[in-house]
Amino acid sequence: MTRQTEGRGRLYDDILDTVGNTPCIRINRIAPEHVTVYVKFEAFNPAGSVKDRLALNIIEAAEKSGALKPGQTVVEATSGNTGIGLAMACAAKGYPLVVTMAESFSVERRKLMRFLGAKVVLTPKELKGFGMYQKAKELAEANGWFLARQFETEANADIHEHTTAREIMADFAGKRLDYFVSGYGTGGTVSGVSRVLRRERPETKIVLTEPANAALVASGTGQDRNQDGEPAASHPAFEPHPIQGWTPDFIPLVLQETLDERRYDELIPVAGAEGIAWAKRLAAEEGIFCGISAGSTFAVAMKVAETAPEGSVILAMLPDTGERYLSTPLFDGIEADMDAEEIALMRSTPGYQMG
């Protein structure tokens, strides 16, 4: 039978109306047979990541409160995905956007934000996430710009409580959901989703993950903060890691509620190399093209699966698409030119050969 589609049954007023309602997709070829694994694939958001939700809610909450004035410039520090989401939202709504970003993050992110009309100000890599964070604050204070404050704003976890979590509840209504696996990044996804899971699906175990070489939460060392909840310094347990979008060099305030209320059941570290390997397998064996943070979350889901009881159902968050990682280690070994096997295939028939 030929596949058919029917449309979404509605017309959209603008691109922002398409944020959310991302699919949960079953893993069929690389998951262990004794469990069922799903991924919530946030690349289906219009700018390609879970941060589209956060970006939109920051802008709309600020508009509603009056904190963001018509035509006012928005400024934010980001490793990329929040900046891309903000660039989309600001373009659709007519706000100028300035993003500060450490120079160590992928060039694709810079180009995507600039393509969407944003200005990107780079900060020295040795100053890490704290440096780009402080630069955004400095620019906001000097120019009277609106600082998005993704790491502290209530709009972050709130949008995940009211959209991401509700989608999960609807998709798994009447069905098992034994484990929910997520990294933390800003903390918004796990804080928002865990509010709902603890209340409505208390049987679901929440598994939190972070880079093995930047295990801030596992260290047990608290985050120094100022009176506004902002980080006062880099966290001493931080080391550079390849999982872009995960774990800045401080514990975000948005994550702190999950830590304080212990709204997770297990904390499992993961090495960046494992995340890269699983991202490659998801692409090559499942057709799911995702980034390093997604591969890392999935790697932890596979660790959970190893000891999960027979019949368990596991859901892993996949934050973004793989295209913004072309210049990173995710694409090491992926060449533009033909390899020996491809050259042999070319020469196996007589016509249309490259010189």
* Residues linked to residue 210 through DSSP beta bridges, in sequence order: 269
**Is 185 annotated as ligand-binding?**
yes
The residue behind tokens 């289906």 is 44
DSSP sequence for 316-338: EEE-BBSGGGTTSGGGTT--SS-
**Is 143 annotated as ligand-binding?**
no
Distance, CA of 153 to CA of 355 (rounded, Å): 58
Among the listed residues 234, 293, 296, 312, the single catalytic one is 293
* Residues linked to residue 207 through DSSP beta bridges, in sequence order: 181, 266
**Is 328 annotated as ligand-binding?**
no
Distance, CA of 255 to CA of 253 (rounded, Å): 5
Active site includes 106?
no
CA-to-CA separations, 23 to 20, 164, 276, 317, 318, in angstroms, rounded: 9, 10, 22, 11, 11
**Is 36 annotated as ligand-binding?**
no
**The dihedral formed by the CA atoms of 103, 148, 155 and 209, expressed in degrees to the nearest 10:** 20
Among the listed residues 40, 49, 51, 182, the single catalytic one is 51
Beta-strand runs (E) in 80-141? 97-102, 119-123
Question: Do 138 and 64 form a contact (C-beta atoms < 8 A)?
Answer: no
**Is 293 annotated as ligand-binding?**
yes
SS (HEC) of 333-350: CCCCCCCHHHHHHHHCCC
**Is 81 annotated as ligand-binding?**
yes
Active site includes 205?
no
Residues sharing a CB contact under 8 Å with residue 337, sequence separation 6 or more, in sequence order: none
**Is 188 annotated as ligand-binding?**
yes
Binding residues for pyridoxal 5'-phosphate, as ranges, are 81, 185-189, 293
Which residues are part of the catalytic machinery? 51, 293
Binding site members: 81, 185-189, 293
